[in-house]
Amino acid sequence: MVSADNLNLGVLEHIFSFLSGNDLPSVALVSKSFLAAVIPRLYSSILYLVRQKKGYNTGDVMSPFAAIVAHPDLAVHVRNIEIRAVPTIKSRLNPIFAKECRETIRMAKKLVSFRCTVPGILPLFLPFLEEKERLETLLVHANLKTDTAKMLAKLNRLQRLTLEFATWNVVDLLPSWSQNLSQTLTTLTLFMINELHEHVLESTLKELPSLQGLHVVGCPKIDHVVTMKQVVHTPLLQSLSLTTSESTRALDLPPPPLHHLRHLALDTRYNQSPSPSPTILASLLTHIKTSSPSLQSFTLKLPKRKVVIGEAFITQLVEQFGSSLRRLAFLDYGISLESLTELCSACHNLETLEISIPTKDLLLFSASIAHCKKLHTLVDAHNHVEHSTRKSFTSIDIGNLLVRCPSLRTIETSHRIWTGRVESAGDVTVKLERRLSHTHKELWFMPRE
pLDDT tens per residue across span 188-238? 999 999 999 999 999 999 999 999 999 999 999 999 999 999 999 999 999
| Choice among 56-65, 93-102, 303-312, 361-370 with the minimum mean pLDDT | 303-312
In tens, the pLDDT along 145-180 reads 999 999 999 999 999 999 999 999 999 999 999 999
pLDDT of the residue at 25:
64
- Is the confidence at residue 52, as pLDDT, over 90? no
> pTM above the 0.85 mark?
yes
Helix 277-289 crosses helix 311-321 at what angle (to 10 degrees)? 10
Confirm if 222 and 201 have CB atoms less than 8 A apart: yes
Q: Are 291 and 255 in contact (CB under 8 A)?
A: yes
* Residues 321-370 pLDDT 10s: 999 999 999 998 778 899 999 999 999 999 999 998 888 888 999 999 99
Amino acid at 249: R
Q: Which CATH architecture has domain 1-42?
A: Up-down Bundle (1.20)
Mean of the per-residue pLDDT values of the chain: 87
Range from 26-35, 259-268, 299-308 carrying the lowest mean pLDDT:
26-35
Residue 298 contacts residue 321 (beta carbons within 8 Å):
yes
Question: Using an 8 Å Cβ cutoff, are 291 and 254 in contact?
Answer: no
Better-predicted residue by pLDDT, 318 or 59: 318
Report the Cα–Cα distance between both ends of the chain, in Å, rounded: 41
- What pLDDT score was predicted for residue 310? 79
Residues 6+ apart with CB under 8 A from 410: 376, 377, 378, 417, 418, 419
Mean pLDDT of 70-76: 94
Whether residue 274 is preceded by a cis peptide bond, meaning omega within 30 degrees of 0, is: yes
* Residue 449 in this model has a pLDDT that exceeds 70: no
Which among 41-45, 384-388, 391-395 has the top mean pLDDT?
Answer: 41-45
> Which of 285, 279, 277, 281 has the alpha carbon at shortest distance from 261?
285
Round to whole Å and give the CA distance between 290 and 277: 20
Identify the residue with better confidence: 425 or 394: 394
pLDDT band of 379, cuts 50, 70, 90? very high
Higher pLDDT, 290 or 169: 169
When pLDDT is averaged across residues 259-266 and rounded to a whole number, the result is 96
Share of the chain above pLDDT 70, in %: 86
| 325, 299 contact by CB (below 8 A) | no
Share of the chain above pLDDT 90, in %: 62
Lowest mean pLDDT among 270-274, 347-351, 429-433: 270-274
Cα–Cα distance measured from residue 305 to residue 307, given in angstroms and rounded to the nearest whole number: 5
94 by Cβ neighbours in 10 Å (0-12 / 13-18 / 19+) ranks as: middle
Average the pLDDT over each of 133-142, 257-266, 319-328, 432-441 and give the range with the smallest value: 432-441
Query: Which residue type does 78 have?
Result: V
Q: Strands 297-301 and 263-268, how do they pair?
A: parallel
User: According to the model, what pLDDT value does residue 1 have?
Assistant: 39
What CA dihedral angle connects 448, 174, 83 and 378, to 10 degrees?
-10
What integer pLDDT is reported at residue 415 of this predicted model? 76
Mean pLDDT of 398-402: 88
Residue 65 confidence (pLDDT) above 50: yes
Q: Output the CA angle 408-446-161, nearest 5 degrees.
A: 150
pLDDT confidence band for 269 (50 / 70 / 90): confident
Model confidence at 277: pLDDT above 90: no
User: For residue 8, is pLDDT > 70?
Assistant: no
Please tell me the predicted confidence (pLDDT) of residue 439.
57
**How far, in Å, CA of 18 to CA of 199, rounded?**
46
Q: Which of 298-312, 334-348, 374-388 has the lowest mean pLDDT?
A: 374-388
Q: Where are the domains of the chain?
A: 1-42
Question: SS in 3 state form for the chain?
Answer: CCCHHHCCHHHHHHHHCCCCCCHHHHHHCCCHHHHHHHHHHHCCEEEECHHHHCCCCCCCCCCHHHHHHHCHHHHHHCCEEEECCCCEECCEECHHHHHHHHHHHHHCCCCCEEEECCCCCHHHHHHHHCCCCCCCEEEEECCCCHHHHHHHCCCCCCCEEEEECCCHHHHCCHHHHHHHHCCCCCEEEEECCCCCCHHHHHHHHHCCCCCCEEEEECCCCCCHHHHHHHHHHCCCCCEEEEEECCCCCCCCCCCCCCCCCCEEEEEECCCCCCCCHHHHHHHHHHHHHCCCCCCCEEEEECCCCCEECCHHHHHHHHHHHCCCCCEEEEECEECCHHHHHHHHHHCCCCCEEEECCCCCCHHHHHHHHCCCCCCCEEEECHHHHCCCCCCCCCHHHHHHHHHHCCCCCEEECCCEEEEEEECCCCCEEEEEEECCCCCCCCCCCCCCC
pLDDT of residue 134: 96
What's the full length of the chain, in residues? 449
Higher per-residue pLDDT: 448 or 286 = 286
The answer to whether 331 and 446 are in contact (CB under 8 A) is no
